[in-house]
Amino acid sequence: MIITVPTTSDFPSFPRPLQLDIFDLEKFLSVRSLPLADACQTKEKAITLTMLGNFQKTQLRIEIEAPATAISDSLLRPAQLEKWLVSGRLSTGMPEQLHPGFQFTTRFGPVAIHHQVDVADSNRLRLILSQGIDGFHEWYWGEGWVQSRLEGISILPLALGQSLNLLSLRQFLAKK
């Protein structure tokens, strides 16, 4: 996302354009006590948001012949996640199990996707995504099923990537 800040006395020290993601935008505006809604509506303090890609939304639920604990381990434990995730390698320094607040990066070809763990429970994982995808990815699971919901703005084909990851997870668990 590129944020262009007009030349005003409120923002004299910032280069133009700024390169920020949505979380940086919130920090940028909060430091100046400027709510996002006001920034987008006030002409003299207007901020132009330009995102590369389209808004995409996809949700899939599949049956998997595996117990909920095996599915949970495959999603929450990076050592197992790395074995089936289509993008392959995860960042170095990953914990034994994902936990809220932890951040990591994956790559899909030349595109980096930053992940921040928002929720990591026994049957749910929610990741806030930025850089290559600005959005979120939620996973829910139980005995014999897994559901993935992905929403965001990206140039990547999210539905295709989601389908490939679910099929890869199913194959990985079938081999266990």
CATH code for the domain in which residue 120 is found: 3.30.530.20
Claim to verify: residue 36 and residue 58 sit in the same structural domain = no
pLDDT digits (tens, 9 = 90+) for 147-174: 999 999 999 999 999 999 999 999 999 9
pTM for the whole thing? 0.71
Q: Cα–Cα distances in Å, from 97 out to 58, 75, 78, 94, 102?
A: 26, 9, 6, 8, 10
Q: Which of 22-31, 67-76, 104-113, 122-131 has the lowest mean pLDDT?
A: 22-31
76 and 24 housed in the same domain:
no
User: Could you tell me the two tokens for 81?
Assistant: 């996640």
Same domain, 63 and 19: no
Q: Which amino acid is at 100?
A: P
113: domain range?
54-175
Whole-number pLDDT of residue 25: 52
The string of pLDDT tens digits covering residues 97-144 is 999 999 999 888 888 999 999 999 999 999 999 999 999 999 999 999
Total number of domains in the chain? 2
